Amino acid sequence: MRDMGIEGAWVMEPRIFRDDRGSFHEWFRAPDLHEAAGYGLGLAQANCSVSARGTLRGVHFADVPPGQAKYVTCVRGAVLDVVVDLRTGSPTYRAWEAVRLDDREHRAVHLAEGLGHAFMALTDDATVVYLCSRGYAPAREHGVHPLDPALGIDWPSGITPLLSGKDAAAPTLAEAERAGLLPSYEACARWYADLRERAADGTGAPRVPVSRG
């Protein structure tokens, strides 16, 4: 697990075994994640998306607590995966880090609760799978426009971004901050500490009421 430079974000770079039959690698190892983060993923949901070249998904995030940690990889084609620090008060607030995920190097990205996530498909049929610490809860989930100049994400040139209607209508970072939508660094730090404490004493993840909205 390699630190991405934003607290709570890591890249996993697996050892790949190749021969004339194909290849084998371990794309998720719970002990490695626990060692890096201090607590496990607490898997609640697994998602798969297939995207045409140029599809731009994000920047998505969820209220903290409980947030939604994600562990992401690309099993077909390639994407540019981006983690954005949307935690107000964070030392790296507004910073972003990008990594290419593809079906050759098989890297994976883990992002903690409170961080924003987006990716652009670099190939047709780019297939991304991700493990989530919490299930889908629309009332707790939000977005920031991925092309907001205030973020300045360096998306690949020469590819026309294709956004969903929801992502195209997402607020800018400044608008989301004024509306009180962004998680605070303080709240996230308390949540991480709680998760680490519960992981250490074996009591599991904190219970949070499930929204039915």
Active-site option among 39, 71, 130, 192: 130
Cβ atoms within 10 Å of 138's Cβ, excluding its own: 9
List 60, 106, 110, 142, catalytic entry:
60
110 is catalytic: no
Distance CA 146, CA 133 (A): 23
Residue 19 and residue 111 in contact, taking contact as beta carbons nearer than 8 Å: no
Q: Which two three-digit tokens encode residue 164?
A: 């969903």
Cβ neighbours for 59, distance < 8 A, ≥ 6 positions apart: 82, 84, 86, 116, 117, 118, 143, 144, 145, 146, 151, 170
Is 148 in contact with 74 (CB distance < 8 Å)? no
Catalytic residue at 93? no
Catalytic residue annotation: 60, 130
